[in-house]
Amino acid sequence: MAGTVITIRDIACYGYHGALEEEQALGQEFRVSLELKTSLTPERDLLSETFDYREAVDLVRRIMEGPPRRLLETLAEEIAAGLLALPGIEEVKISVCKPHPPIAAVLGGVAVEIRRSRAERQS
C-alpha cells in the first residue's frame, strides 16, 4: 500500500501521571514520539491534501495534560485511539516516555511503545 510515514519526535508535555501519589500531586515532564502512517498522497503542494500533523500534536497535548493516569500504557492507548480516529491515519507507533522517573539508578528514562492500526481496531 502506498503511503507516507510522518514522524514527530519528543512532544514535551507536563502531566500528573504515575503510580505514585507524589507523581500525581507534583507532576512531571513527559515526552511523546509518534510515527503516523497515512494513506493520503498529495498530488499538489497543498496541506489540504495531506495530514496536518499539528492535529496530532494538539491531541497528544490534550491527553497528556488531561486527567491523571497511573500507567504509561493507558496514555499510549488513548493517544493511539485518538489518532486512528483522524481521517487518513492508517497505522501509528507511539512512545510515551517519562524522562525522570522516581526510580534510583534510571538515568535514561522509562518509555512504553505501542503499535496500532485502523485495520485491527475495525476487526
Contacts of 65 (CB under 8 A, 6+ apart): 13, 14, 15
Q: Is 37 known to be catalytic? A: no
Q: Which residue has the cell 514535551?
A: 12
- Of 17, 37, 98, 118, which is the active-site residue? 98
Rounded to the nearest 10 degrees, the angle between the axes of helix 72-84 and helix 54-64 is 150
Task: Give me the active site residues, please.
Answer: 98
